[in-house]
Amino acid sequence: MKVLLIQDVKKIGKKGEVLEVKEGYARNFLIPNGLGVEASGGALKQVQEGQKAQEKKLAREKEESLQLAAQLEKVRVVIKHKAGAEGHLFGSVTSSEIADALKQKGFEVDKKKIVLDDPIRLVGVHSAKLKLHHETSASLTVEVQPL
């Protein structure tokens, strides 16, 4: 029996796949648990339309992230932080502080998308990576000044 999977099923397949399974497995497990439906013409067409819409959405998100990355490459963020005489910060600059500074400049970036290789604990110019999309990243210049 041909079954179209609605959700990922371990050791069987991923969402959207059409599989040949035994009739008892389909009727007693997959279909009653909402994991799959019988692969008919209407169900297959609906899945194809959903995949096309998903592809368009991903392409649009990628394009938006590329535009944002190009804009963020030019931005220099200045953060003032308490520091000692030798330039060591009391604490460190966090990704949420960088996200707040970007917000003041007009960029909405989630703090989870800001990647710091090492904690920023010194006064000076540092770089941070922004993971905007699974295929798109940008580099950001962060300048830390003593308060």
pLDDT 10s digits, 43-72? 888 888 888 998 999 999 999 999 999 999
Domain that holds residue 85: 68-146
pTM higher than 0.75 for the full model?
Answer: no
Cα separation of 8 and 17, whole Å?
A: 9
| Band of pLDDT at residue 104, cut at 50, 70 and 90 | very high
Asked if residue 48 and residue 13 are part of one domain, the reply reads yes
CATH number, domain at 52?
3.40.5.10
Q: How do residues 76-87 score in pLDDT, each as one tens digit? A: 999 999 999 899
* Distance separating alpha carbons of residues 74 and 102, to the nearest angstrom: 12
Q: How far apart are CA 124 and CA 89, in angstroms?
A: 10
Query: Is the domain of 47 the same as that of 113?
Result: no
Q: Provide the domain count of the chain.
A: 2
83 and 122 share one domain: yes
Same domain, 81 and 136: yes
- Tokens 């800001």 map to which residue? 114
Do 82 and 101 lie in a common domain? yes
